[in-house]
Amino acid sequence: MTINAFVAGFLGASPVEMIASLSGFICVFLLIRRNIWSWGFGLLQVTLYVWIFYQNKLYSDTVLHIFYVGFQFYGWWNWRHHKDGKAELVIEGTSLRDLGVWTAVSLISAVAIGFLMDRYTDASFAYGDAFTTSTSLVAQLLLTRRHLLNWTFWIAVDIVAIVIYFQKGLYPTSLLYITFLIMSCIGQYSWWQQYKRQIRDRRAV
């Protein structure tokens, strides 16, 4: 694909996709900063993407974003009730055991969902779409519960999603996920620094 074709596809994107992409960018920016308002922009983003992905026959992603709607409310509640003495979000560590368990859950679920979508629907990229769905659910759960390594799962999701959305011609969404990939790396670093500060503060008490 030429650069001109990409630009034409980007400029020809629907207003709904553009608004969803912008909302997603703001959401992740605020998540990195551990700002509770991220959940408001996240709610707008995921609601719009339910429609976008359904129209593009990405059914696993459609179902995923329906679940995301509920996660936005849960995430807002959880973050609101877990602040430290400095009104900073309390970040939880993620053990190697937990990392292994959640990785296994992600991969096994991806194979199962991909098989069902490939066999019983006309889904595009059934297994790749299933991977982003299952891994995103794991990442979102860890994020709402403030786990440090939620960003590691988001990085894996972003890499696969970029390939799928680009091939589906969802160019603003592809660009959004390229941005997400960069921001997820920043988020992992930022949360790691905050987690270390919280550990030092606890030891100093």
Q: For the chain, what is the domain count?
A: 1
- Among the residue ranges 32-41, 127-136, 147-156, 170-179, the one predicted with the least confidence is 170-179
**In the prediction, which pLDDT does 11 show?**
55
Residues of the domain holding 12: 3-204
Mapping DSSP onto H, E and C, the string for 61-127 reads HHHHHHHHHHHHHHHHHHHHCCECCCCCECCECCCHHHHHHHHHHHHHHHHHHHHHHHHHCCCCCHH
**Sorting pLDDT into bands at 50, 70 and 90, what band is 13?**
low
Spell out a b/e string for 109-129, using b for 16 or more CB atoms within 10 Å of the CB, else e. bbeebbeebeeeeebbbbbbb
**Sorting pLDDT into bands at 50, 70 and 90, what band is 18?**
confident
CB atoms within 10 A of CB 88: 14
> What is the rounded average pLDDT of the residues 160-169?
89
Q: What is the value of pTM for the model shown? A: 0.81
**Is a pLDDT exceeding 90 seen at residue 133?**
no
